[in-house]
Structure 1
Amino acid sequence: MSETIDWSKLAEVEKIKYDSNYLRGTLAESLADPVTGAIAADDTQLSKFHGIYQQHDRDLEKERKRQKLEPAYSFLIRVRLPGGVTSPKQWLQMDRLADTHANGTLKLTTRQAFQLHGVIKKKLKPAIQGINEVLLDTIAACGDVNRNVMSHANPAESDLHAAVYELAGALSAHLMPQTKAYHEIWLDKEKVADSKTEVEPIYGIRYLPRKFKIGVAIPPYNDVDIFSQDLGFIAIEEKGKLIGYNVTAGGGLGSTFGIPEAYPRLADVIGFCTPEQAIEVAEKVVLVQKDHGDRTNRKQARLKYTIDRNGLDWFKTEVNKYLGYELQPAKPYEFSRNGDRYGWKKGTDGKWSLNLFVEGGRVKDTEALQLKTALREVAKKVGDAQFILTGNQNLIIANTSEKDEVNRILKKYGVWPVQLSGLRQNSIACVALNTCGLAFAEAERYLPTLMDKIEAILAEHDLTKQEIVIRMTGCPNGCGRPYLAEIGFIGKSLGHYNLYLGGNFNGTRLNTLYKETLSEEEILAELRPIIADYAKNRSEGEGFGDFVIRREYVKETKQGKDFKH
């Protein structure tokens, strides 16, 4: 077969995947190499399928070069966690591994997953084994496969919520790579005698052209940003019963400065399926992308470009052909918001759940806030609580009968209750510097400081309670979903950001570039008169993103191809 493939026309990673012996490569040898803190170049690509990214500390980069030392390599480990639900035992294990094998913090991601940062090479395998000890894993958390499946946060809210959570788990399991490489390399399982007999029934030997993301939402809450997903399922209910899902396809927010043909795109609704059809629909959409996605240019390899290149009607026809039947027409639905709902909520079973704000998704202790210690104590003392990661980097202490004990612990450490502005409640920041190699500027470490100053402007106009979606990333790849924000910042260079305005509060519209390469002083100078205008001239119930379009600060971006950096 390899003789029939012209590798010179394909992206380099395609040959790496093909030659990897189903994702094994030389990972075992790279891990055993004591000479360097890194792994081999090809293995850095393969390691992503195992839930790992190689990084280095960019804060130390200049000094390491001056001393003629290799970069301070470390690794990010991402845990696959469909639907975001964990037990107290699993939370405590992740908390412990953060201290013993990583940098002492936990990152709650925008895909409802854990990340460990700062894991050095010799601790990679013990850390992954520790994750698996509590029935978690890192398989397919990254790489050219279906990644962590997101769903509405708390399955205990109703039977409908439980069904959606169950679908997220079933989708994740069905689309899991079948190779035994992960178990051999990380868990010391017996090697396959002849791996040539292995098959990947869905992915084949070269897997997908690019990453693939799935989310499941329950209107009116779009808390997984369904239109940012390659594939989405919008739950449709009648009289409290789940009757099926509207299917969305073609979302994706990654883009590249200076390459206009790489752009964010929102998914289209392509039809409706019954609950029994959802798994099959997902598989066939993945197969259409596997067979027709661009393997020559990774910047054009996501499903969104496959659809735009061939047309939405073509895509619908292909999906129906692969299915052997037609998707039904989409059903009516409406979204009202795309953020989290904070505070305590009582379930139908009488138990309580607290949606807790976690700034930047970073669980750590500081002098001002001992969040990590507080959550550890909750996990130890409140045995019936679940810990549910949301799609907005926050945490739900869920489904407990011990509300008073949770309140006591959180109050003891200053975690809850707290007063948060409507802006801060709806904030997201990617990791960016110091570890992400793609970042041009800060995000997680800087956005809280910038929000302090924007909040001061909001306070001047009595707008601190007004909910406004604000997001910041260190580069245009879109990990923090900045293109859906009412106020979005994307790092252009150290200390400078592009400012985007005009997304909306329910996550159904892309924003638009307002001004380029702004310093902090310039950002505040640009926002100040707009906020003043909003305070004075907004209509009843009008969101900030809708206002800036009505007042023509920016024009509405109606489709991804129109988006400009």
Structure 2
Amino acid sequence: MEPSGGAKPSKAEAIKVASQYLKTFLAEEVHDGQTHFSENAAVVLKFHGSYQQDDRDHRTQFKREGKEKGFQFMVRTRVVGGKITAQQYLAVDKLAMTVGNNTIRITTRQEFQLHGVAKQDLTSTIRAVNESLLSTLATCGDVERNVLCCPAPIHDSVHEAMQADADRWASHCAPRASSYWDIWFDGEKIENPLFPTAGPILVPTPGDDPTEPIYGKAFLPRKFKTAFAFPNDNCTDVQANDLGCVAIVENGTLVGYNILAGGGMGTTPSAQKTFPFLGVPICYVDRADVIKIGEAIIKVFRDYGNRSDRKRARLKYIIHDWGVPAFRAKVEEYFGQPLADPKDAPITDVDDHLGWNEQGDGKLFLGLPVENGRIKDEGSLRLASGLRALFSKYQVAGRLTCQQSLMLIDLDPAWRADIEATLQEYGIATVEQISTVRRWSMACPALPTCGLAVTESERALPTIMDQLEVELAKLGLENDRFTVRMTGCPNGCARPYNSDIGLVGRSASKNPDGTPGPGTYTIFLAGRTLGDRLNIEFKDYVPFDRVVPELAVVFARYKAERLAEETFGDFCLRIGVEELAGEPSPA
């Protein structure tokens, strides 16, 4: 085991170091009057919370007409644990309507994304986000990303303690150099509760330490993701994260965490050296040590991660290559004292927190399904207008979920009838009004904004759901719970590799007019809703219009041959995906 540095660092590593703590390249181009950034500046921009993209629906047309690409920017907000106020929601909504594309997207990491922002509007957008006491800092780039936590606003000591720990860890790992403030705020710092300086651990705020004591001048080899979860409610998909903290509760008190490490979904099918991986148990720590163990793991990643090949630069490859015992020993070295073995606390359930629920303080919260996380007005569904009306009228807080849905919290029970009437007025479906298969589905944005997408995802999954609803109803399986997750490329942003059914974009196609078509997909089966098992490739290069017919054959066998209480994913594993793939599908 040798620290990284033997092989020549990748181009991205050189850019990070040359950026002088994320300032050089970007600072020179923010106000240069151009529609886009150079390649170097675009790399640095990610750390500040934005991706440079272009309108791929019109890319061919613009090229044919001799025009430059339709450059635009995605701006992502940091929302630790998905907690938002009414004022913050309305501020993001206003930005979507004024500088975005009239939609908001809830991500699978409890954040907001704005799409379609012009370069000339980046500075005002980032300032407005911060003035609402949110942030874009470290939502992208080779740093700790948005920290996930169970969003249920349950008023008990256990939920409140875990949310506090997630807040402390997110603040502790925020980049500390001043470039964010220097570039977007002319050096002014906005006091932000996302970076508290009070509590059990005093943490510096961004701008307090130009040397980045956690990250160093090259930051991390790749992104790093953290999630907190309960064993009986894995609503954050904890094993899909680099660092997973599973709460250990004894006699009604959160005493500590089982620590998992190495989860990650991204893969490249043409490169066998890459693969999805689920976090493995490393140790147990008392609650007081959760920051210390997290920092030890992130520093091992910093010092030993692959900085020459970004395809293999995630923490999972260190653990895979070294083995768990060697990795644990190195973490123990950085931790500075012996590590305790994990406690017996397996994942047993997942709650999507939809519908009406009691908070434990006499008030209610309402979880609303948001298909694929996209908040917009379209036809009779006026979700954007309806949520704007509800947050404006009631001025209550909200929460974002890792399943791309949204909660209204702290609701007086006396408001219930009026809220339900408002939902009906704006055509907003409650969880009781959507199918089970649609409830447990999600997709990444993919085309037309994501530069990595090879196929459709967000715009294609609703059609898949329409077709699946018909097939499942024919078989009497419409109430069975299983996850369907779709992505437009193998990077796996919607976590398709540990779902019951994963649909991953494989190859592109074109419509007759030259615009991108729906493409082909790899179908994966035999994961499960708990998120604690990887699925297995079922069929590859399946055309979009063949996806549901292929699945229908498997569902028919499931109906005929399943054991009592057997889930769909467990059935596929028991029968064998290879055997299921041999079944003839309808022509």
The question of whether the paired residues in 2 share the 8 Å contact of 1:156 and 1:399 is answered with no
Answer yes or no: is 1:164 the counterpart of 2:162.
yes
Query: Which of 239, 262, 274 does residue 286 from structure 2 map onto?
Result: 274
Query: Which of 483, 489, 492 does residue 497 from structure 2 map onto?
Result: 483
Give the aligned partner of residue 397 of structure 1: 408
Answer yes or no: is 1:24 the counterpart of 2:23.
yes
Query: Which of 321, 341, 347 does residue 329 from structure 1 map onto?
Result: 341
Q: Secondary structure at the match of 1:348?
A: coil
The question of whether the paired residues in 2 share the 8 Å contact of 1:230 and 1:251 is answered with yes
Could you tell me the TM-score, scaled by structure 2's length? 0.91
Letter in 1 for 2:416: K
Query: Which of 483, 489, 510 does residue 534 from structure 2 map onto?
Result: 510
The question of whether the paired residues in 2 share the 8 Å contact of 1:421 and 1:467 is answered with no
CA distance 1:513–1:492, change in 2 (3 Å): same
Count of residue pairs brought into register by the alignment:
547
**Offset at 1:329?**
1.6
Written as runs of structure 1 = structure 2, the 5 A alignment for 1:156-555 is 156-189=154-187, 198-338=210-350, 340-383=352-395, 385-401=396-412, 402-417=415-430, 418-494=432-508, 495-554=519-578
Q: Distance in 1 between matches of 2:559 and 2:318?
A: 43
Aligned structure 1 segments of 4 or more residues deviating by more than 6 angstroms:
5-8
Q: Distance in 2 between matches of 1:461 and 1:157?
A: 41
The superposition leaves residues 161-201 of structure 1 with CA deviations (integer Å, 9 ceiling, x where unpaired) of 1111111111110001111100111122269xxx9992111
The superposition leaves residues 365-416 of structure 1 with CA deviations (integer Å, 9 ceiling, x where unpaired) of 1112110111001101112x21100011011111211333322221221214
Give the aligned partner of residue 72 of structure 1: 70
Letter in 1 for 2:93: D
**Offset at 1:26?**
2.2
Give the aligned partner of residue 584 of structure 2: none
Q: Distance in 2 between matches of 1:458 and 1:450?
A: 12
The superposition leaves residues 532-559 of structure 1 with CA deviations (integer Å, 9 ceiling, x where unpaired) of 1111221222111110111123499xxx
The question of whether the paired residues in 2 share the 8 Å contact of 1:505 and 1:543 is answered with no
The superposition leaves residues 119-142 of structure 1 with CA deviations (integer Å, 9 ceiling, x where unpaired) of 010011111111011111100001
Letter in 2 for 1:276: A
Give the aligned partner of residue 560 of structure 1: none
Q: Distance in 1 between matches of 2:96 and 2:579?
A: 45
The question of whether the paired residues in 2 share the 8 Å contact of 1:471 and 1:480 is answered with yes
**Offset at 1:90?**
0.4
**Offset at 1:8?**
7.5
Which is further off, 249-258 or 486-495? 486-495
The question of whether the paired residues in 1 share the 8 Å contact of 2:153 and 2:359 is answered with no
Q: Distance in 2 between matches of 1:19 and 1:363?
A: 39
Q: Secondary structure at the match of 1:237?
A: strand
Written as runs of structure 1 = structure 2, the 5 A alignment for 1:98-117 is 98-117=96-115
The question of whether the paired residues in 1 share the 8 Å contact of 2:177 and 2:208 is answered with no
Q: Distance in 2 between matches of 1:344 and 1:555?
A: 42
The question of whether the paired residues in 1 share the 8 Å contact of 2:176 and 2:208 is answered with no
* Identical amino acids, percent of aligned pairs: 40
**Offset at 1:148?**
0.3
**Offset at 1:155?**
3.8
Q: Distance in 2 between matches of 1:196 and 1:409?
A: 46
Which is further off, 398-407 or 118-127? 398-407
The question of whether the paired residues in 2 share the 8 Å contact of 1:426 and 1:467 is answered with yes
**Offset at 1:520?**
3.0
The question of whether the paired residues in 2 share the 8 Å contact of 1:51 and 1:138 is answered with yes
The question of whether the paired residues in 2 share the 8 Å contact of 1:423 and 1:468 is answered with yes
Letter in 1 for 2:271: I
Letter in 1 for 2:391: A
Answer yes or no: is 1:136 the counterpart of 2:147.
no
Say what the alpha-carbon RMSD is for the aligned residues: 1.8
Q: Distance in 2 between matches of 1:190 and 1:235?
A: 38
The question of whether the paired residues in 1 share the 8 Å contact of 2:231 and 2:349 is answered with no
CA distance 1:6–1:153, change in 2 (3 Å): closer
The superposition leaves residues 403-441 of structure 1 with CA deviations (integer Å, 9 ceiling, x where unpaired) of 333222212212143522211111110000001110010
CA distance 1:118–1:316, change in 2 (3 Å): same
The question of whether the paired residues in 2 share the 8 Å contact of 1:337 and 1:507 is answered with no
